[in-house]
Structure 1
């Protein structure tokens, strides 16, 4: 006798304020583990109730379609949760103190890692150097990465382990800072950071799973139900995919993941395409786009600019790929029907990516694969117009305004600053704009991101006027960037990012009603409950 099919658990959320888009709301929703079954008033949904249905009274709270972050790094977030957290340090002395405390608590560590420092906040008014890190340890390598992820500082022990004891040969598409005598200062920029990898022992799938699980749990606590995560690289392709596969098989993915894969050679790209083709379709673990990196960050002055930096005329930043390399990889992906998203912050990098996308879309100018640019920060009016004319998607990070608004004019000058971070202008020109956080560059809290999109202010000064307030989104438009447009970016529109019959059962239930709050209060909102795949994945105490 054939086994009976297991009946899916059904759940009803009632006594709710369920946002359906625009000014439309419902009060109840019925769903199982695969889809939404009914939406309406409490009475309408109650009429479809069956014995055994789970009932959750949300006590009038706001229910949003599950929120999505279209660009972050789960693996790196997991690493930061295990290593030294330097996100809020305000001095080099604090870095030294916090790192020493970490070593005391982890005396067997063979390499010390930390991330999150930003020298623009240091009381000392300068960047880290190896002498600072030698005060932390002379016995084991110390590697402390800037918040942006585009600069790392190491101690003398690390330099010696790597063999950097004589004249420095500068790597391609990166930089090792040296002093007047030609000795390394400890600072590694962009692709030079790849030279630090031999310091760490080989990773295991178990270690990767542990870090991914920590990050995915943090995403669920924050109220996210989907993340587009940039973890897979040419170097870790098999290990990272296996780690994700195992987490999926063990039902340890409390949020959905769209993989963004940094594959920097044709061989690894073709291997990924082969694996993707052989992998059954799945709405929890999605094999997503090729993700390429074309420049650095504004804070590190490594974003690639068309003109020298206003506050450092000796540099225009660093292009981490040549146009020929970019063309080769994007053309190969495009030919195989694979979407491409490219990190580009400086105007030179953005221009190069737009040129490449325009080239591959010669016969299909409406950009059917939905190629996009991640970050899209430094633009002039002509570049904004080119986003629209090439139908290039924009995966932006409003949360970057928290810090960048205080440095952008210094870095690029007044004129260019007045046309940069023009996220609303992009949307008004018909560009598909979705929001991410680039966590762990910034925290993955979607409500802080929402606040920055709606107010254009930093998190600490809601009373200020904000940076280019004319670029602020309305609350409804900003929410669409985190729901409907985010779903469109991964070809899941209608199935995700909306609350309607047949859509995925993913919900973010807020502890405060964002529609009833003053904009400056949005940053204080938190998830009261996160439901993904029809299951409660997080609930506040």
Structure 2
């Protein structure tokens, strides 16, 4: 018994501009594509359902190749500071939050970015104390590699002028050596360790909110990294099993596993691979460096706007080698966070030393490269997880960080593709907005919505077809599913993102305004704009 999808333009992504007018599906798999008349004739006895897409444009289901799903849900249910454009407004929102927070309870905020402020202000702990001195405060920067805390949070964590910087982190200090309340990378863990553990109910709610929001923006799946931060592997993994149950919510959840969660994963009897039709355990996730915003991304040469630092290595070389060697002994691939060229060099050296016997490794972000590093990447079985929206959020201030000499090979998506490297597209939500249309727009235009210029580094603009590929066949290739996901073709899963327009023919600046009509997973409508999430 099967379903005939009809009355639309089905953009197959097999080749540029290729489309069909109908698709026949049975048991969640596309069996044939073609004209409505042909499919009606061929499968007359098998068609038990017809789905009318109301003249819309149907794409292979969009998949975010790198995000943090629970973190995205937290952003939706906590104080969201990501759209704040001044220090005054940030202060106002924190003061409002403090009024509704009881003494002794934590105040959490997500996504502040000083580069959105005209004065680029970073709050001092004493200023946060003026807002709430009796309520510990933890405010995560947009990159999630830095946080602001007040004096009460420092006190609870035992951080004083005598506290040493942890490996891979920095406690920012004033001229007298006193902590300012600004913590970078692993230094944030000192405070996180004293924050009360989240409850199962909280994690479940965040995950449910996240999945439903992903459906709303047209995503059928995501490659997410969450299994270390919410009371360990099992407790978090159980929430995924419950929420993405294949009934109420069908969603292609591919779960990267933080290297510190691997032991618990093994103790629970799990390993890399498919767990349910909708949940897979993926590569071992490793952080090699931080982010450009806080100058913790590891560069091969000092930052142009702060020659005193080249960034932060999250692991000593021998420790990074050891993590990758351990993964190889279990035939596991790795996914390494590498933003700076220094971190990329470290990662490639380790991958060259411990080659993968089967499958593909992943490098996440890959924002600063050079010719030598590109040539080395081409000799390894790699997929690059890029986030096109970073161009819109990081420029123009990132030019100050990197200087003109490094720019030609920074955020160089077109160069990476032209060199034959395989790329997948993601958002890194909650760092960036999760909407894939914003990522596609940024990949094509290299600018923010509403800006009127030729784009930052315009030679790196992608075509619309290349941009959509990032979120379809690119994401499928990243996990070895390129022969069953990412195209509308016989033998592929019936996952569709249905829009009201043709992304390949409309003006690129109109892409963010495209409307998601339906999100379909496994031949099941999970979101319909006329009804909401199913």
Do they fold alike, i.e. is TM over 0.5?
Answer: yes
Identify the range of structure 1 (180-189 vs 109-118) with the bigger mean alpha-carbon deviation: 109-118
2:521 and 2:228 mapped to 1: Cα distance?
27
1:229 and 1:473 mapped to 2: Cα distance?
25
Alignment of 1:271-350 (within 5 A): 271=267, 274-276=269-271, 281-350=275-344
The match for 1:246 is 242
The change in CA–CA distance for 1:77 and 1:266 in structure 2 (over 3 A counts) is: closer
The change in CA–CA distance for 1:250 and 1:59 in structure 2 (over 3 A counts) is: closer
Report the 3-state secondary structure (helix = DSSP H, G, I; strand = E; otherwise coil) of the residue aligned with 1:448.
Answer: helix
Task: Tell me, yes or no, if the aligned pair for 1:391 and 1:431 is still in contact at 8 Å.
Answer: no
2:196 and 2:521 mapped to 1: Cα distance?
35
The change in CA–CA distance for 1:104 and 1:263 in structure 2 (over 3 A counts) is: same
Q: 1:360 aligns with which of 351, 354, 357?
A: 354
The change in CA–CA distance for 1:207 and 1:33 in structure 2 (over 3 A counts) is: farther
1:482 and 1:49 mapped to 2: Cα distance?
34
1:280 and 1:301 mapped to 2: Cα distance?
37
Q: Please report the TM-score for the alignment, with normalisation by the length of structure 1.
A: 0.92
Matched, 1:506 2:460: no
The change in CA–CA distance for 1:52 and 1:109 in structure 2 (over 3 A counts) is: farther
Task: Tell me, yes or no, if the aligned pair for 2:385 and 2:426 is still in contact at 8 Å.
Answer: yes
Report the 3-state secondary structure (helix = DSSP H, G, I; strand = E; otherwise coil) of the residue aligned with 2:193.
Answer: helix
The match for 1:405 is 395
The change in CA–CA distance for 1:37 and 1:195 in structure 2 (over 3 A counts) is: same
2:418 and 2:274 mapped to 1: Cα distance?
37
Alignment of 1:100-249 (within 5 A): 100-105=95-100, 107=102, 110-233=105-228, 236-249=232-245
Q: 1:532 aligns with which of 501, 521, 528?
A: 521
The change in CA–CA distance for 1:257 and 1:298 in structure 2 (over 3 A counts) is: same
Per-residue deviation, 1:32: 4.1
The match for 2:473 is 484
Report the 3-state secondary structure (helix = DSSP H, G, I; strand = E; otherwise coil) of the residue aligned with 2:242.
Answer: helix
Q: 1:387 aligns with which of 377, 387, 391?
A: 377
Matched, 1:94 2:94: no
1:83 and 1:207 mapped to 2: Cα distance?
11
1:208 and 1:269 mapped to 2: Cα distance?
18
Instruction: Please list the CA deviations of residues 485-530 of structure 1 after superposition, one character each: whole Å capped at 9, or x if unmatched.
Output: 2111111112111112221110000122212201222222232110
Uncovered stretches (5+) of structure 2, i.e. residues with no partner: none
Instruction: Please list the CA deviations of residues 276-326 of structure 1 after superposition, one character each: whole Å capped at 9, or x if unmatched.
Output: 27x864331011111111101111111001111100111111111121111
Task: Tell me, yes or no, if the aligned pair for 1:305 and 1:348 is still in contact at 8 Å.
Answer: yes
Per-residue deviation, 1:108: 8.1
Per-residue deviation, 1:431: 0.9
Task: Tell me, yes or no, if the aligned pair for 2:234 and 2:264 is still in contact at 8 Å.
Answer: no
Per-residue deviation, 1:50: 5.5
Task: Tell me, yes or no, if the aligned pair for 1:213 and 1:253 is still in contact at 8 Å.
Answer: no
1:155 and 1:359 mapped to 2: Cα distance?
44
Identify the range of structure 1 (479-488 vs 144-153) with the bigger mean alpha-carbon deviation: 479-488
1:107 and 1:37 mapped to 2: Cα distance?
58
Task: Tell me, yes or no, if the aligned pair for 1:91 and 1:121 is still in contact at 8 Å.
Answer: yes
Matched, 1:520 2:509: yes
1:199 and 1:111 mapped to 2: Cα distance?
11
Report the 3-state secondary structure (helix = DSSP H, G, I; strand = E; otherwise coil) of the residue aligned with 1:379.
Answer: coil
Structure 1 vs Structure 2 CA RMSD: 2.1
Per-residue deviation, 1:167: 2.3
The match for 1:11 is 3
2:149 and 2:299 mapped to 1: Cα distance?
27
Q: Please report the TM-score for the alignment, with normalisation by the length of structure 2.
A: 0.93
Per-residue deviation, 1:187: 0.7
Report the 3-state secondary structure (helix = DSSP H, G, I; strand = E; otherwise coil) of the residue aligned with 1:343.
Answer: strand
Per-residue deviation, 1:155: 1.1
Task: Tell me, yes or no, if the aligned pair for 2:363 and 2:382 is still in contact at 8 Å.
Answer: yes
The change in CA–CA distance for 1:103 and 1:236 in structure 2 (over 3 A counts) is: same
Per-residue deviation, 1:184: 1.1
The match for 1:448 is 438
Per-residue deviation, 1:269: 6.6
Task: Tell me, yes or no, if the aligned pair for 1:331 and 1:360 is still in contact at 8 Å.
Answer: yes
Per-residue deviation, 1:66: 0.2
